[in-house]
């Protein structure tokens, strides 16, 4: 299959050997599960259970709120011990609405939707409804509700389904192991997705550093003579897992700025998402666990683990024997785009693909120096941006100028910061600017909403005032009319008596 070259990219030390050779292992249930209601892009889920409720495995705990949201289900059977705010899996460490559940140890399944034995005989809408009901989101980290992506077939002319199996972040190997160990289920999920989207072909994109996974998937397709699934070996280069760049590599089509790949006829799903969709469609099982890579030089034991959603990170670390030395950095996700773990009390969620404990030798301290305008960041940027110029504008609080030269097109992959000889934290500048722009937009929206409500109140008060004046005028007119009528009656009576 012909490949197309993309701009930029880097080759960081992969360090996948720490966990790539270790099979997926099931983690025992913790004593408490803390399940955040915000595990996806969009509106947080709305609880449908109360404190003290006994629930079964797979039972709905919180329903999706609005068109862009995702349902939350019980990872096991047990009792709801609390519903309230708890530290969220976010760098800020701020609390978010969370359901706390105490497992009963029985791991008893509740009533599940009926399995769809032949998914290829039912319509796309039925599959999309099942995916939505199962709370499935993008499991590569973006956590966009998968049912919403399936709905793109109704407003876009789709031609190709791309399966993102690149797993380009260093250290992470959870997708690699899933493809090796569950290759038949993965291919089945991909074919179900292809049918649901109504596209002619699906392309699985795997980086060349995963030969075993590549061979396993090829063997399944060859044995079953699946002509609708192609397997493409893409170059091992970061950030090949960025969906727009992956699509460009495979098709040669470039996605316009701030547009969707669906606008050029391509939909991208993560390989782990395909497995979750297959479980939901064929067996009625919602998304209640995921495979997570635990790695890094500070971990006593590394590996790939099937982890119930809501498991505290501390429990996962303890299961791996803790740390063999004091970690210099704890990350949720990969080292390039992962987020610092503010507290190990926080939980594994649907988008958690890795927990990394990096030692001092893996995070060498580098002193930040002034920019020497070498343009190394420009060469590395896969989006064709000029990071040093954007950072210069942001330092001077010229956010509009940074937006004009592409700030909002930045995917925060970290390639620019990785190659910078001056060790300038470029991505931090960009994230700061995006956060401030978002805050400004919210403030502007709030101001406009306040103005609208004030105007609406003034108009309402004016209407009420006018209505009151009109009512008073009517009452006055009625009183005058009555007074006049009474005077007429009195005069008429007097005339009658005089006669």
Q: Which residues are annotated as a binding site for [4Fe-4S] cluster?
A: 371, 374, 377, 381, 410, 413, 416, 420
103 Cα distance to chain centroid: 26
Give the span between the Cα atoms of 485 and 85, in whole angstroms: 71
**Dmax of the chain from CA atoms?**
125
Point out the annotated binding site: 371, 374, 377, 381, 410, 413, 416, 420
Burial class (CB in 10 A: 0-12, 13-18, 19+), 89: buried
464 Cβ contact list (under 8 Å, min separation 6): none
Torsion of CA 260, 264, 269, 271, to 10 degrees: -140
DSSP character string of 226-294: -SSEEEEEE---BTTTSHHHHHHHHH-PPPPTT--GGGGTEEEEEHHHHHHHHHHHHH---S-EEEEEE
Task: Answer whether 373's CB lies under 8 Å from 113's CB.
Answer: no
- Neighbouring-strand partners of residue 47: 62
Distances in Å between the Cα of 96 and the Cα atoms of 100, 310, 355, 454 are 12, 13, 20, 31
């Amino acid at each position: 299959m012909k490949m197309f070259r993309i701009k930029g990219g880097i080759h960081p030390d992969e360090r996948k050997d720490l966990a790539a050779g270790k099979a997926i292992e099931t983690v025992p249930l913790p004593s408490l599960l803390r399940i955040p209601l915000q595990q996806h892009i969009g509106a947080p889920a709305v609880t449908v259970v109360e404190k003290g409720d006994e629930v079964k495995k797979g039972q709905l705990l919180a329903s999706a709120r609005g068109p862009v949201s995702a349902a939350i289900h019980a990872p096991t059977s047990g009792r709801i011990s609390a519903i309230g705010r708890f530290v969220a899996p976010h760098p800020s460490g701020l609390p978010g609405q969370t359901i706390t559940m105490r497992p009963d140890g029985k791991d008893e399944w509740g009533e599940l939707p009926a399995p769809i034995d032949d998914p290829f005989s039912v319509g796309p809408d039925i599959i999309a409804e099942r995916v939505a009901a199962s709370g499935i989101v993008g499991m590569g980290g973006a956590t966009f509700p998968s049912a919403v992506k399936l709905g793109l077939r109704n407003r876009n002319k789709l031609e190709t389904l791309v399966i993102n199996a690149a797993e380009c972040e260093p250290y992470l190997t959870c997708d690699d192991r899933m493809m090796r160990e569950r290759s038949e289920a993965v291919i089945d999920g991909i074919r179900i997705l292809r049918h649901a989207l109504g596209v002619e072909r699906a392309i699985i994109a795997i980086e060349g550093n995963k030969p075993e996974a590549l061979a396993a998937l090829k063997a399944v397709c060859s044995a079953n003579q699946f002509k609708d699934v192609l397997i493409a070996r893409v170059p091992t280069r970061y950030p090949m897992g960025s969906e727009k760049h992956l699509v460009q590599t495979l098709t040669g089509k470039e996605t316009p700025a701030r547009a969707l790949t669906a606008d050029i006829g391509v939909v991208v799903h993560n390989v782990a998402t395909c497995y979750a969709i297959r479980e939901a469609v064929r067996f009625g099982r919602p998304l209640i666990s995921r495979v997570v890579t635990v790695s890094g030089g500070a971990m006593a034991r590394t590996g790939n683990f099937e982890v119930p959603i809501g498991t505290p990170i501390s429990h996962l670390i303890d299961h791996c024997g803790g740390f063999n030395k004091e970690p210099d950095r704890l990350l949720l996700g990969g080292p390039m785009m992962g987020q610092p773990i503010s507290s190990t009390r926080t939980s594994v969620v649907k988008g958690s693909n890795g927990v990394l404990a990096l030692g001092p030798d893996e995070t060498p301290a580098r002193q930040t120096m002034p920019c020497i305008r070498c343009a190394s960041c420009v060469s590395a940027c896969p989006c064709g941006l000029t990071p040093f110029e954007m950072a210069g504008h942001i330092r001077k609080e010229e956010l509009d100028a940074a937006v004009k030269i592409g700030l909002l097109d930045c995917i925060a992959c970290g390639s620019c910061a990785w190659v910078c000889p001056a060790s300038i934290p470029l991505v931090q500048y960009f994230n700061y600017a995006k956060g401030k722009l978002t805050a400004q937009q919210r403030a502007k929206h709030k101001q406009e909403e306040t103005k609208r409500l004030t105007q609406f109140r003034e108009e309402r008060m004016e209407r009420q005032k006018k209505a009151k004046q009109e009512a008073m005028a009517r009452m006055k007119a009625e009183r005058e009319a009555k007074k006049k009528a009474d005077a007429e009656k009195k005069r008429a009576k007097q005339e009658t008596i005089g006669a």
